[in-house]
Structure 1
Amino acid sequence: MVSFTVLIPARLASTRLPDKPLADIAGLPMVVRVAQRAHQSAARSVVVAADDARIVAACEAHGVQALLTRTDHPSGSDRLAEACTLLGLADDAIVVNVQGDEPLIDPALIDAVAHTLDSHPDAVMSTAAHAIDSVDDFVNPNVVKTVLDAQGNALYFSRAPIPWWRDGFAGKGPTTLPRAPQALRHIGIYGYRAGFVRRFPDLPPAPIEGTEALEQLRALWHGHRIAVHVSDHAPGPGIDTPEDLARVRALLSAA
């Protein structure tokens, strides 16, 4: 059994959904819902890394461990780095970053991401993907795609439709999906070795990272490996907008 810690970064400010981590979902704050799902995984501990005392208080009121981190972190990765230090995690410890707006995340996916990193000792990160079954998703720049090498490590992540089927798309663009390899949609969950998390904020940003607006490309650009678990199905919906929140509330109410 892989030993790992789940870290859930939670930031109170959100332009599209103010106070998002505290949004009520069937009687519980969103971040508590996420932590409860994470507790159903095999993680030895689940910790919320918050930027506001109100998030910490809400977590503690429901028996969820939480840390208060600095308010000036530019990204969730920086918040994770501070949390790893506050928790005193060893450099080789595995942590899984579960986003604080994923109250329907599958606990089995969390386990799979941790296991994938543990089984790839040459990788410093792991993540997940699933097969794309829609041409609209394949060409949508808001859907991040990835391609893998023979060992299941990411070769690249892109908002562009990859892999590009030269002969099948010649002259007209995608009207069907690539035959092989299958197109994969990236799922935004990450496993890390704690030592790498602490080093990551000090790595210079990569030019391709800025072009694609994808932070994980920084690791690839600096020569690190990201192992990828290919899931059989898409994850549950995340929450970015009031409409997303209403949809998830309805799903839980109907359950």
Structure 2
Amino acid sequence: MKFACVIPARYASTRLPGKPLADIAGKPMIERVFDQVKLAIKPEMVIIATDDQRVYTTAEQFGGTVVMTNPNHPTGTDRLAEVAEQYTDIDVIINVQGDEPLIDAAIIDQLASLFDEDPTLQMATVATPLLEEEYDEPSAVKVICNNRGDAMYFSRSLIPFPRHDFVKAPLKHIGIYAYKRDFLLDYAKMAPTAAEQTESLEQLRALENGHTIRVIITDKRFVGVDTPEDLVRVNKIFAQKENK
């Protein structure tokens, strides 16, 4: 199978305008994400998908493969599907968010390996143990899986509700996805669904339409950049790494 990673990099951000170009220890964030993703072994291509000329120019300057996408896409899936349409020889597309400069390349390879092991698989994602202080955080998306390791539901609420002590530790969803290309193109055309719109969680569209999402579990935790405070935290982490 041929794998590609796509990194969406939308310039507009309510909490951190111009986020893809935010400086992280001397490099723009989109370059930091690109550098991390390039460490993965299985993807043959890493593609940056942006809607802004400034990000496009920056990516070209550091040698990234970049595609300009429609700025009016309502969701990230639509932006991803536009890229997928242009690369007809790709079998599986792995979507790494453009605000994850500390993403572990090994996770990307693990996701890719799922599709080698199970050719019928259409979609997969990642989860990590949920911290107790995240139980009531709507921004910490929870996922519950069945015994096969497939997602049963995603929610901003705590699931399962702990009427008794947890038999298994609850899980926090990490927003990295892998899709069969053909499934991604179909998925982007599906109408928004009830739970998806209620929770504002796009992955519920796949479940509500009867599709399977395989979940791999990692004990690694990543620091995404959503706010100025996150940016300060990530800069400190990179400064410590580079000082070593």
Shorter-chain TM-score above 0.5: yes
Matched-pair contact (CA < 8 Å) for 1:125–1:193? yes
Query: In the TM superposition, what are the counterparts of 1:102-181 in structure 2 within 5 Å?
Result: 102-132=100-130, 134-168=131-165, 178=166, 180-181=167-168
> Which whole-Å CA distance do the structure 2 matches of 1:233 and 1:246 have between them?
20
Structure 1 residue aligned with 2:97: 99
> Which whole-Å CA distance do the structure 1 matches of 2:89 and 2:55 have between them?
22
Structure 2 residue aligned with 1:36: 35
Amino-acid identity (%) = 43
1:122 shift after superposition: 3.6
Structure 2 residue aligned with 1:65: 65
> Which whole-Å CA distance do the structure 1 matches of 2:136 and 2:14 have between them?
27
Structure 2 residue aligned with 1:76: 76
TM-score (norm 1): 0.89
Matched-pair contact (CA < 8 Å) for 1:127–1:226? yes
Structure 1 residue aligned with 2:16: 17
- 1:197-251 residue CA offsets vs partner (Å, 9 max, x unmatched): 11122101110111111100000000110000111222x2011111111111111
Aligned partner of residue 135 in structure 2, secondary structure:
helix
Structure 1: 5+ residue stretches without partners: 169-177
Query: In the TM superposition, what are the counterparts of 1:162-241 in structure 2 within 5 Å?
Result: 162-168=159-165, 178=166, 180-234=167-221, 236-241=222-227
Matched-pair contact (CA < 8 Å) for 2:192–2:205? yes
RMSD of equivalent CA atoms: 1.5
Amino acid at match of 1:38: V
> Which whole-Å CA distance do the structure 2 matches of 1:81 and 1:56 have between them?
18
Amino acid at match of 1:101: D
> Which whole-Å CA distance do the structure 1 matches of 2:168 and 2:73 have between them?
38
Amino acid at match of 1:130: T
> Which whole-Å CA distance do the structure 1 matches of 2:89 and 2:192 have between them?
25
1:27 aligns with 2:1: no
- 1:160-193 residue CA offsets vs partner (Å, 9 max, x unmatched): 211223334xxxxxxxxx1x22211111100011
- Judging changes above 3 Å, is the alpha-carbon distance between structure 1 residues 139 and 242 closer, same or farther for their aligned structure 2 residues? closer
Out of 2-11 and 57-66, give the one that drifted further.
2-11
Aligned partner of residue 129 in structure 1, secondary structure:
strand
> Which whole-Å CA distance do the structure 2 matches of 1:16 and 1:222 have between them?
32
Structure 2 residue aligned with 1:49: 49
TM-score (norm 2): 0.93
1:143 shift after superposition: 1.3
Matched-pair contact (CA < 8 Å) for 1:126–1:191? yes
Structure 2: 5+ residue stretches without partners: none
- 1:15-40 residue CA offsets vs partner (Å, 9 max, x unmatched): 21111111121221111110110000
> Which whole-Å CA distance do the structure 1 matches of 2:111 and 2:118 have between them?
11
Matched-pair contact (CA < 8 Å) for 1:7–1:95? yes
Aligned partner of residue 215 in structure 1, secondary structure:
coil
Matched-pair contact (CA < 8 Å) for 1:123–1:224? no
